[in-house]
Structure 1
Amino acid sequence: MRNQKTLMWTVMYAVLCVLAAMWIYPIVIAFVESFKVGGAGNYEAVLNHPRFDYWSAIGNSFLLAGGSTVIIVVISSLAGFAFARMRFRGRNFLYRALLACMAIPVASVVTPLFATMNDLGLRDSYVGVIIPLVAFNVLVMLLLMKNHFDGIPAELVEAATIDGARPIGVFTKIFLPLSGPVLANVSVLSFVYCWNEYLLPNLLLSDEGKFPVTAAVALLQYERMSQEQIGQLYAGLILMTIPSVIVYLFSQRYLQSGLTAGAVKS
């Protein structure tokens, strides 16, 4: 029994090491290439680039990712509570239909999405990017929130209902105070997903001054690039990832506790 457990842990850590190597390898290559020709001067060149305004792009990314995160947290928490604790006709069908939408890739709807935002006059605006960012990320967060709310003891809800609490009171006074870790988890994941989004900003924004870092880094590319310009491109990619990595590292403990929230149901 002990040998079997040791073997299981060995296999698990081996798989994790392989996955970690797959994720770290591209970052290491980019970091090495950013110093290969030009050294630290590549980073200075990026920060003082005539077209690529790093700090402006960072601000745009924080605006898009932060605004989207706030909306996602509000919608997913309210919807998660409704699907977990409220009874209404078609609840299960609607929930499964929403989860089925997770299988639709963003790339498959770029044409109608572009046409819709253009018709609404939202193309080349922050709102026009935030709306699809929320739409494509909120369903995963809804799943996390509902699973967590399903794990909250029903006795607490019954006691609050007997005391005369309405659904909104149950949500704000019982569910939210017990949901700190999962709310932090949803916030961090939403922020990182929206920060790393590449397709939507490139599809819906044409004003370079509104580009987030994922779109603005393309301004470092040229048709024919020298080795030094390639090093600057890699430097821009490294600078692009730093804020999201910092957010992830500082919130790692919330992610761990949030992912296990709701895993065991009462």
Structure 2
Amino acid sequence: MSHSPSNSTSTPPLPTTSLPHPKIYPQFVLLGDSITQISSLTFAARLSEWYSRRLDVINRGFSGYTSRMGLEVLQQFLPADSAPSTTTPPVKLLTVFFGANDACVPGHPQHVPLDTYIASLRGIINHPALKTHDTKVILITPPPVDEYQLGGGDRTAAHTAKYARAARELGEELHLPTLDLWTTFMRKAGWTEGSSGALTGSKDAPRNEVLGKLLVDGLHFTDEGYHLMYDELLDVIMHKLPDFIPEKLPMIFPDWKDKLGIEA
């Protein structure tokens, strides 16, 4: 009885030489409330693509959270004694984006007094682990609200504006790269600094069509709102943190041509 040769090919053996210790990707952590949490298909996805193969973009958005809650949770997922190691990735960039819930009117369960809001932001920015990781913090102000879409009185345009201004002033005081999202959205809606009359977004002012296109429910963002936020954040990084644009950061694993020894 004759046996025909097998047509199957054998799998090449795995390399027997020891490989370097597994590499880890540095992180860009997005810390915030629901506006951050639900950005995974829009803002966070575009940011991940921009930093592809250089930084892992980690969404740490928590729906309903205030700055005080954000400080607490930061200390749990990044404890004070955390330090970069061969198994702990360094957090190179961190956005701090709270205030939309803090700015609920007094009497609402999520309301955080203005001085406590600023103290909580300071606590996050000065968190010991961030110093150990040499993390660059980007502060983001709360955006405006549209009272016409919100319907209820839990948030008002004027009250939110106070929290946005306080966050902006904190960024200036600490010389932090700051994305003034409140001013960005308001200018897009036609508001100008020093303008008199009722504040855009308030029911005392005419309904604003542009603001309605940026906010899906008076608070959270439409795709257009997230695209605007993305463009403005990139502008902040390019002008305030130019060493952190992707072209200035190394790929964690080499290009395929380098792996094969092919010259460009």
TM over 0.5: no
TM-score (norm 1): 0.29
TM-score (norm 2): 0.29
Q: Which has the higher strand share?
A: 2
Q: Which has the higher helix share?
A: 1
The higher relative CO (CA closer than 8 Å, separation ≥ 6) is in 1
